[in-house]
Amino acid sequence: MALVVIFAVWMTAVTLYQVALNGQRERLREAVQSRARLMGALVDEEARGGGGTDLGSDEGLLDALKIVTRAHANFKGFGDTGEFTLGKREGENIVFLLRHRHHDLDKPLPIPISSNLGEPMRRALLGQSGTDILIDYRGKRVLAAYEPVPELGWGLVAKIDLTEVRRPFLRAGLLVGTCSLVLIAVGSILFLRIGNPIVRRLEENERKYRILSEDLDKEVKRKVAELQQAERMAAIGRMVAVVSHEARNPLQHIRLGVETLQIHMGDDTDKMEIIEEIQHGVTLLDKIISDLLEYSRHVSLTLSPVQYGALVRKVVSMLSHKTDNVAVHVELEQEEREIVVDPVKLSQVLVNVLSNGIEALNNSGNIWISSNFFEREGSECLDLSVSDDGPGMSEETLNRIGEPFFTTKILGTGLGIAISKKIIDAHGGSLNVRSKPGDGTTVVITLPIRSDETTKAQAEKVSLP
């Protein structure tokens, strides 16, 4: 389309140029003919009048030249390059009688009659009359009208540089071409964005459907996860009652028996190691049962205002025995500000998240705890981030984080993050994990900021299965 417009503009410019060129030809022809006749009339009048000029003598030619020169002195030319030139033939040379406008200003130099220069004047001196594009005395291409002055045997030329004739059309063509391209661009935009409602509607619908599809995909995944979790919860709930009764009591007996054996073992190191392994196994089984019980229970919150900064620093202090070679950097925004949460449950979440970060660092590295307050949909929220510079996680592992019973640890139930997410969900917030292999891991806990007035009402509602 752009090529078609450019071609059309070019053809239009060429057509207009030809029209203007023909018009300029006609104006030059009329000008040179009228001047030639005027010169002839002036000389005739001078000859018939009181001057008594004899045009056949050199003195008469000089008088005629003075008359023409006086008439020419007040004419500065036309346009930037247009001028009249007057010449005569002397032997094999063309001699110019008037000052030039552009070249040989004071004393115009003669040129040979056989030269390629001064073609318009040569034709005029040969008695020809007309207009054409020719080479002038400077070697420039000009549009020239030439006319003989038979009364004096001279030639008269009106000419203008061809570049001057073309210049406005070149400028206009460039301007029109540029404007055309701009208009094409604007027209295309208008066509796509405004002028074509179907395309615009399709683009908008495509965008909406894509967003809707992405949202639906996320919602489906969330609902599937919730359904899977609900199914697991139902199974776990039925199982936990049996496990807690059938397993907890035998474990308690085993623990008491192991403690009794430890008392009677004395200094038998080998047997003591076996007893300690049994005791560790019992402790691990008890932890698994405790996690199962907690995961299966409803999350009931006891909300109260608390300075979140003090709570975070208390958790860091509680885990200081695990961070001998780990640098923990705490940079909190408005850390003295109070938020309404269940401090015990939130502390449990922070302990779990920090412990995971410390274990990922393998007892060497950095952990950053930061926060910021922001508004979302007219409500104020708090982002609490825990980041480490550990090895990070693969995409496959990251996608399964929070899935009950999924763990990469040798010892672990895989319920820590799942329980933490339930607690944060009960607060009306969210827990998200970002990680890439080699870039560490970041856990972002987002909590809504509740006012003191709504604490009691919220406490009655935040109970999740």
Compute CA 253 distance to the chain's CA centroid, rounded to the nearest angstrom: 70
Paired tokens of 59:
């003195």
Per residue of the chain (465 residues), what is the pLDDT tens digit? 556 656 666 676 677 667 777 877 888 888 888 877 877 776 666 666 555 545 445 555 556 556 656 655 555 667 778 888 888 888 889 988 877 776 666 677 888 988 888 899 888 888 898 898 899 888 888 888 898 988 778 888 888 888 887 777 777 767 777 877 777 777 777 766 666 677 677 788 888 888 888 888 888 888 888 788 677 666 766 666 566 667 767 777 787 887 787 777 767 777 777 877 787 777 777 777 776 677 667 778 889 999 999 999 999 998 888 888 889 999 999 989 999 999 999 998 999 899 888 888 887 889 999 999 999 888 899 999 999 998 988 888 888 887 777 777 766 667 788 888 889 998 999 999 999 898 899 999 999 987 554 444 444 444 444
Q: 142, 213, 187, 158: which is closest to 27 by C-alpha? A: 158
| pLDDT at residue 361 in the model | 87
> How large is the angle between the packed helices 343-360 and 308-318, nearest 10 degrees?
50
CATH 1.20.120 holds for 206-295: no
Residues of the chain with CATH 3.30.450.20: 2-167
Phi, psi of 338 (to 5 degrees): -90, 140
HSE toward the beta carbon, residue 291, CA cutoff 13 A? 18
Spatial separation of the C-alpha atoms in residues 26 and 20, rounded to whole Å: 10
Q: Which are the contacts of 430, defined by CB distance < 8 A and separation ≥ 6? A: 424, 445, 446
| pLDDT at residue 432 in the model | 92
Q: Contact 240/292 with Cβ under 8 angstroms?
A: yes
Spatial separation of the C-alpha atoms in residues 88 and 94, rounded to whole Å: 6
Q: Which are the contacts of 453, defined by CB distance < 8 A and separation ≥ 6? A: none
How, if at all, do strands 379-388 and 365-376 pair?
A: antiparallel
CATH architecture of the domain covering 2-167: 2-Layer Sandwich (3.30)
HSE toward the beta carbon, residue 256, CA cutoff 13 A? 6
**Fold of the domain built from segment(s) 299-464:** Heat Shock Protein 90 (3.30.565)
Residues of the chain with CATH 1.10.287: 206-295
| pLDDT at residue 6 in the model | 62
Paired tokens of 319:
């885990």
